[in-house]
Structure 1
Amino acid sequence: MATTSVKLSDDISTRLRQVADSKRRTPHWVMVEAINRYIEQEERKASVYADALISWNEYQQDGLHVTWNEAKSWISTWGTTAEKEAPKCHK
């Protein structure tokens, strides 16, 4: 396990300690939790971006798509008794 040093302002350090105390955790635990959540969030963003790039490249090749209104109309029926089939892609 690696050890990393982080310089915190007095204000952040105080706030960190307050959050840790309120959760009955150590400041170390709060920092590790925050770093893990941040990394997971950034990894999800990167994954969404990569998927969007793949979709954009596919669209550039074949032109197939659904319009926003078609997608919105379909999504608005989710979870209802009138749920629609997904719209078909078209040029």
Structure 2
Amino acid sequence: MAIKLDDDTKGRLKRLAEARHRTSHWLMREAITQYVDREEKREAFRQDTLKAWEAYRATGQHVNAEEADAWMARLEQGDDVDPPPCHV
């Protein structure tokens, strides 16, 4: 697999690699790995959101913002509490 970079980017990558005592190849692999990891997490979150929306549309079950805020406030205080029950 090959990647074409403009001269400016190549120079920046080379300077950074030298400063980090790494190869340009290592930096590119690291950058791509971090990007793919981040995008996979973003896609998983998007899929979870779509599933939650479909579940809401099918059942109408939900928790309102006040209930969620109160639950999260308790969690922030260190209380180990269950989430509020869903309702229609």
TM bin (shorter chain):
0.7 to 0.9
Q: 1:76 to 1:18 in 2, by over 3 A?
A: farther
- Aligned partners of 2:78, 2:7: CA distance in 1, in Å? 56
Structure 2 counterpart SS, 1:64: coil
Identify the residue that residue 41 of structure 1 maps to in structure 2.
38
More helix by proportion, 1 or 2? 2
Q: What is the 5 A alignment of 1:71-90?
A: 71-82=68-79, 84-90=81-87
**Which structure 1 residue ranges, 4+ long, deviate > 4 Å from structure 2?**
81-84
Aligned residues: 88
1:31-62 residue CA offsets vs partner (Å, 9 max, x unmatched): 00101111111111111111111111111110
Please list, as runs of the form range in 1=range in 2, the aligned pairs for 1:18-37 lying within 5 A after superposition. 18-37=15-34
Q: Quick one: distance in 1 between partners of 2:83 and 2:74?
A: 10
- Matched position secondary structure for 1:77: helix
Normalized against structure 1, the TM-score is what?
A: 0.85
Residue 16 (structure 1) aligned with residue 34 (structure 2): no
CA gap 1:36/1:64 in 2 versus in 1, 3 angstroms: same
**Root-mean-square deviation over aligned CA pairs:** 1.6
Q: Work out the CA distance in 2 between the residues paired with 1:38 and 1:81.
A: 33
* Per-residue deviation, 1:83: 5.3
- Work out whether residues 74 and 83 of structure 1, in 8 Å CA contact, stay in contact via their aligned partners in 2: no
Q: Distance in 2 between matches of 1:39 and 1:81?
A: 34
Q: Structure 2: which 5+ runs fail to align?
A: none
Unaligned runs of 5+ in 1: none
